[in-house]
Amino acid sequence: MVDQMFSDPNLIVAAEYASPSVGSRSVRVMVRQPDQISDFMQVKAVIGSLVADISASQIDNPQEDDILIIRGKAYQIKQVEKDSLGLIWKLQLREAA
């Protein structure tokens, strides 16, 4: 089921995953930009973020500071989290320097 979802061209984009430990490989990711709400004292701030979901069958163990190239733009992985079933990696991204 998860692999079918990551094969749907309406949901995924092609990307390149680059890591010193595994080299470079083509992957399929779901990209989203959820807002994060942060409270500071009595002020709420809305902060944009960039998240890429990738099937665990495509990448065994993504690491912080690895690179994900999406639509020709490089992003650095700043946080890695796996879903409760171990099927999907959630990668918090930031633009690479």
* CATH number of the structural domain spanning residue 58: 2.40.10.210
The residue among 3 and 66 whose pLDDT is bigger is 66
Query: pLDDT tens digits for 46-96?
Result: 777 899 999 999 999 999 999 999 999 999 999 999 999 999 999 999 999
pLDDT band with cut points at 50, 70 and 90 for residue 38:
confident
Q: Report CA-CA distances (Å) from 42 to 15, 37, 38, 39, 58.
A: 40, 12, 10, 7, 43
- Model pLDDT, residue 3: 81
Give the per-residue pLDDT at 2: 82
Across the range 31-59, mean pLDDT stands at: 83
Q: How many domains does the chain have?
A: 1
Give dist(CA 32, CA 46) in Å, integer: 16
Q: Which range marks the domain in which residue 41 is found?
A: 2-95
How far, in Å, CA of 76 to CA of 93, rounded? 6
pLDDT at 7 (0 to 100): 87
Residue spans of alpha helices (H) in the chain:
2-5
